[in-house]
């Protein structure tokens, strides 16, 4: 389950009700600050494992799991104020998977006019996924649509599968608009997974709708879904975007931003 809490949303009761109703094994909340962490504390007390990064900049992230989390790392891949989470999830079967939770920053005219930071973070995670030694799930608000050049490159480089393909758009943003809606909240999985269920949740007073995914780990059928390896050109493009993001951060720090 992956809802966005939205800093301007001051009513946690709808989200809490949704958490209790769906009762997911893994819960990822984004755009969360300390107030949100405290507001949902009672509802998430049943989760034994947690990774909390409350930040007052709309990029805070809270991860709760009934399944064991191992070797968990809080990452700041591009910007020291934009977190992500990398953790191994031990399933009830005893098998392990890698989970990456991300929320890269979008282009913003006043603060970050280019997509360099977002694209760089996406490519860093794509390369990690490509070099995997276990099944992988990448989940989060990509601040990008699946048909963009950046997300297409992410998919090619990571060799992950877009769970929406063949199932619909599942537009989760903007929940406050009746007309303009986009699939910004995304899940990508390695070939060992099969999708059991996808669903959008009800309005929780956020600008995003919750997004629910039920997956089944079926490695015996992985060959049926294997993606082609990325080309040298695609890998070079990804590396260029990573370096551009790093260089831009150096420039920002030098300018005191």
Give which of 119, 103, 93 is closest to 2, Cα–Cα.
Answer: 103
pLDDT in tens, 123-144: 999 999 999 999 999 999 999 9
Average the pLDDT over 5-25 and give the result.
85
Residue 26 in domain: yes
HSE-up (13 A, CA, CB side) for residue 150 = 23
Q: Does any domain span residue 4?
A: no
Give the pTM: 0.93
| The pLDDT value given to residue 177 | 85
- Residue 90 covered by a domain: yes
> Is 5 within the bounds of a domain?
no
66 belongs to a structural domain: yes
Q: Is residue 158 part of a domain?
A: yes
Domain range for 53 is 13-254
pLDDT at residue 113 is higher than 70: no
Candidates 100, 104, 126; CA nearest to 114 is: 104
- Tell me if 8 is assigned to some domain: no
Burial 205-226 (b: 16+ CB within 10 A, else e): bbbbbbbbbebebeeeeeeeee
Q: What is the mean pLDDT of residues 180-198?
A: 94
Considering only residues 123 and 249, tell me which one the structure prediction assigns the higher pLDDT: 123
Q: Which DSSP category does 81 fall into?
A: T
Q: Which two tokens stand for residue 88?
A: 């191994």
In this predicted structure, the answer to whether residue 110 has a pLDDT above a threshold of 90 is no
- Give the total number of structural domains in the chain: 1
Helix, coil or strand: residue 40:
coil
Question: What percentage of the chain carries pLDDT values higher than 70?
Answer: 94
Residue 82 lies in a domain: yes
Residue range 106-131: mean pLDDT, rounded: 85
pLDDT at 182: 85
Name the token pair of 61: 């992230």
CATH classification of the domain holding 153? 3.60.10.10
State whether residue 143 is helix, strand or coil. coil
């Amino acid at each position: 389950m992956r809802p966005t809490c939205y800093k301007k949303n001051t009513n946690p009761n709808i989200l809490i009700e949704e958490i209790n109703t769906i009762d997911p094994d893994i819960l990822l909340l984004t755009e969360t600050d300390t107030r949100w962490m405290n507001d949902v504390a009672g509802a998430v007390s049943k989760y034994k494992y947690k990774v909390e990064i409350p930040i007052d900049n709309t990029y805070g992230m809270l991860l709760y799991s009934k399944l064991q989390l191992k070797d968990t790392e809080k990452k700041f891949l591009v910007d020291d104020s934009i977190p992500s989470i990398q953790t191994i999830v031990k399933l009830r079967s005893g098998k392990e998977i890698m989970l990456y939770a991300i929320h890269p920053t979008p282009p913003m005219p006043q603060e970050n006019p280019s997509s360099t930071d977002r694209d760089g973070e996406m490519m860093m995670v794509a390369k990690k996924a490509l070099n995997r030694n276990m099944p992988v799930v990448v989940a989060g608000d990509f601040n990008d649509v699946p048909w963009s050049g950046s997300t297409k490159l992410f998919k090619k480089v990571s060799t992950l599968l877009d769970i929406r393909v063949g199932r619909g758009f599942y537009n989760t943003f903007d929940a406050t608009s009746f007309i303009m809606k986009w699939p910004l909240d995304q899940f990508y999985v390695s070939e060992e997974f099969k999708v059991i269920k996808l669903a959008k949740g009800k309005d929780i007073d956020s600008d995003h709708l919750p997004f629910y995914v039920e997956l089944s780990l079926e490695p015996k059928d992985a060959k049926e879904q294997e993606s082609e390896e990325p080309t040298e050109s695609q890998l070079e493009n990804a590396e260029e975007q990573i370096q551009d993001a790093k260089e831009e951060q150096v420039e920002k720090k030098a300018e005191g931003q």
